[in-house]
Amino acid sequence: MKQRIFTGAATALITPMNPDYSVNFTRLEQLVEEQITAGIDALVVCGTTGEKSTLRYDEHIKVIETATNKAAGRVPIIAGTGSNDTVYSVELCNDAESVGADAFLMVAPYYNKTSQAGLVAHYNYIADRVNKPIILYNVPSRTGVAIKPETYKELSKHEKIVAVKEANGDLSSVAQTKYLCGDDLDVYSGNDDQTVPIMSLGGVGVISVLSNFMPKLMHDICELYLSGNTQEALSLHIKHIGLMNSLFGDVNPIPVKEAMNLIGMNVGPCRLPLYTIDTPAKSLLIEKLKECGFDLK
């Protein structure tokens, strides 16, 4: 078996902003500490939820550095370093490693819409030139290209490619991936609402949006399931499924930042072009937060 980066729940951490849209690094340090204190198993920074696409290069590296310094080795810090420019990804990985990142989350190349053979070439090129393990990230709704199970099989032959964050919504594809790759590729759910279903297919956890403000819940769901308390894990999962789904009533991370601000966590706005939450989505979000016992500010 390859090196496992983490088991359980990792938070796809938001990037807190000041009112002028600059990164709030003081609040970022606080969030990292709050997450670790609550028992989260790992943190992903500068991913989709962390608004990677609107961070300048210097901000991107500083966010990773801030998180790694604050975590101080207590949990793995996984840096979002994917790009549709293969050589740029290598540079980003190397700079992320230089400031302390423990692993890389690498989204499939977006917009270019490369072939499956292109995906293999892209990821192997990067893996040959980095020193830390890689989690592939499959989210075709955003990238326009899906990583197929047979492609995972080929990529899993590389020692640095150890896992996938699977957000394609297709459980049959996840089952086929586990069948083809076995222990050569860990699978993490990339959708909160599929956490338990993917663990039932051999997954080892989740990279979660909800855990931005409910880290203990997502940790507990994973720990319960993986320790054999499957019914209790399922009950918790079902109890919170409405809230999980409400976080995707508008484009991520708009709803999760709205939720955090509503409950007093004060993480600021999203950067343009992401805008304020759609009114029906906000109404649903408020309803589900109240159902789960949150007092709104």
- pLDDT digit string (tens) for 148-195? 999 999 999 999 999 999 999 999 999 999 999 999 999 999 999 999
Residue 237 covered by a domain: no
Range of the domain at 38: 8-229
CATH at 21: 3.20.20.70
Label residue 260 left, alpha or beta by phi (over 0 means left) and psi (-120 to 50 means alpha).
alpha
- The residues annotated with a catalytic role in the active site are 137, 165
Residue 258 covered by a domain: no
Residue 276 covered by a domain: no
Report how far apart, in Å, the C-alpha atoms of 254 and of each of 14, 15, 16 are: 10, 12, 12
Q: Compute the 3-state secondary structure of the chain and give helix, strand, coil in percent, each to the nearest 5.
A: 50, 15, 40
| b/e map 120-138, b = 16+ CB within 10 Å | bebbbebbeebebbbbbbb
Instruction: Tell which residue, 217, 198, 167, 223, has the closest CA to residue 47.
Output: 167
Assess whether pLDDT exceeds 90 at residue 270.
yes
- pLDDT digit string (tens) for 22-68? 999 999 999 999 999 999 999 999 999 999 999 999 999 999 999 99
Residue 37 covered by a domain: yes
Residue 122 covered by a domain: yes
Average pLDDT over residues 253-278: 97
Residue 59 covered by a domain: yes
Residue 53 covered by a domain: yes
Residue 100 to residue 106: CA distance in whole angstroms? 17
- pLDDT digit string (tens) for 204-216? 999 999 999 999 9
| Cis bond upstream, residue 253 (ω within 30) | yes
Q: pTM (2 decimals)? A: 0.96
What's the number of domains the chain is made of? 1
Instruction: Tell which residue, 47, 107, 110, 44, has the closest CA to residue 77.
Output: 44
Judge whether 218 and 9 are in contact, CB under 8 Å. Answer: yes
The token duo for 38 is 């609550």
The token duo for 131 is 């020193």
Assess whether pLDDT exceeds 80 at residue 1.
no
Residue 210 covered by a domain: yes
Q: So what's the pLDDT on residue 3? A: 85
